[in-house]
Amino acid sequence: MSALAPASASPAPAPPGSPPDTLAPGGRVDALTGLRFLAALAVFAHHFTGLGGPESGVARVPAFFPYTTMGVHGVGFFFVLSGFLLAWGYRPGTSARLFYWRRAGRIWPAHLAASLLALVLLFWWGGRATDVFSVLASVLLVQTWFPGVTPTLPGNSVAWTLSVELFFYALFPLLVRAALALRTRTLLSVCAGSLAVMAAVNLWLLTHLSGGAAEWVMRHPLARLPEFGLGLVAALALRRGLRPALRAWPVVVALAAYTVAYTRRAEWAGEWAVVLEATVRPVVAVLAVGLVVACVVRATGGSARGEGWLASPVMVRLGLWSYAFYLLHQTINYAITDRWGHQSAGGVAFFTMIGTAVVATALAGALYHGLEEPARRWWAACPPRWVTGGGDPRRIRALFLPHRSGGPS
């Protein structure tokens, strides 16, 4: 979830392992913006169809269920992409204060608007239980940092991922500078080790803690840090000149096959199903980074075919709206169930899902053009002196205003 730094060309390849601070930031890759919308759509499909129970989701759509349950791991794609884009567009020498200022203007305006809508519709009119502490935690985006909030995902429930992202943002200036000092091979080894530890910890949690406690730990920012780090390392590796011969379609096929195996784990794997559950986040992270790298390799390889349909104007536009879409969709789902109850499974549910997605997309477009982008530009145009450090305001604004992104990071 981060702005793609605009540039007229990709960085020139450098010998593997050379320090990336000798390279220009990576060029814009529109296919990643389009890909972001597909990830947000997968999360929407999961939330709409739920887990298939009578009180889960809006309605079960037999044509897609249970495969839509894999959509919950679309947030893992966002974490990987966030680390990638922040490192891909990183300009050595950028102060941490400037970075934090830019992130605040990027995520908070739309987040506050979506949170207000959720609080009014779901907690004031809808009567859901909460408390002042939990509401403040959700508004400040620290709700996943500690237990005890009410409900488990307070305020705008999907904003828990922004709470994780905020933790990543706090660490990014330190992480990227540390990564710059290490060789690519070392960074890749650290990533592999951290993903293995992530899987091992998840397995222990699932076999030793209650479901709610295990989920809280696995949702904690520290537990999701390997996904962000994988994206960061992949970006630095590409900036250093690494160009693997990777295409997107094998990754898509692998993702589809893994989705079938994961969603059928109970009947196919038996007592080993818990292993699939414990390893799903690391596996999705690897597949996500594979898709991202394949898109970048194609975009920077001078292919006559260009970036493909993901970079089409329609997909780029939807990608720009995807952050707002993500923030709004679950509130709309909840509003439907509060007003009309959970819908019956069947063919009608399919058309209800399509209609809900269309409404959410239209509202997302309105939020993006009416608030998110104007607020970001306003915020970028007037950084205070303590942020700029007395630097040239025109140069500082140039770091903010060019923008091509569809998510909060």
DSSP 103-130: HHHHHHHHHHHHHHHHIIIIIIIS----
Q: Secondary structure of the chain: what % helix, strand, coil (to 5)?
A: 70, 0, 30
pLDDT in tens, 115-130: 999 999 988 887 788 8
Please tell me the total number of residues recorded for the chain in this structure.
409
How many other C-beta atoms can be found within 10 angstroms of the C-beta atom of residue 360? 25
8 A C-beta contact, residue 159 and residue 142: no
Q: How many CA atoms lie within 13 A of 314 on its CB side?
A: 4
CB neighbour class for 355 (10 Å; exposed up to 12, middle 13-18, buried from 19): exposed
Whether pTM exceeds 0.75: yes
pLDDT means per 10 residues in the chain (409 residues)?
36 46 69 95 93 75 88 94 95 89 94 95 83 90 87 88 97 96 96 97 93 90 97 96 91 95 88 92 97 92 74 95 97 91 83 95 97 93 76 49 42
pLDDT of residue 305: 66
Calculate helix-pair angle for 273-299, 221-239, nearest 10 degrees: 30
8 A C-beta contact, residue 27 and residue 300: yes
User: Which amino acid makes up residue 338?
Assistant: D
Q: Which residues 6+ apart lie within 8 Å of 134 measured at CB?
A: 143, 149, 150, 151, 154, 155
Q: Which residues 6+ apart lie within 8 Å of 145 measured at CB?
A: 163, 167, 220, 221
Q: For residue 227, what is the DSSP state?
A: H
pLDDT of residue 398: 46
Q: How far is the C-alpha of 5 from the C-alpha of 227, rounded, in Å? A: 21
pLDDT of residue 128: 81
Q: How far is the C-alpha of 154 from the C-alpha of 337, rounded, in Å? A: 18
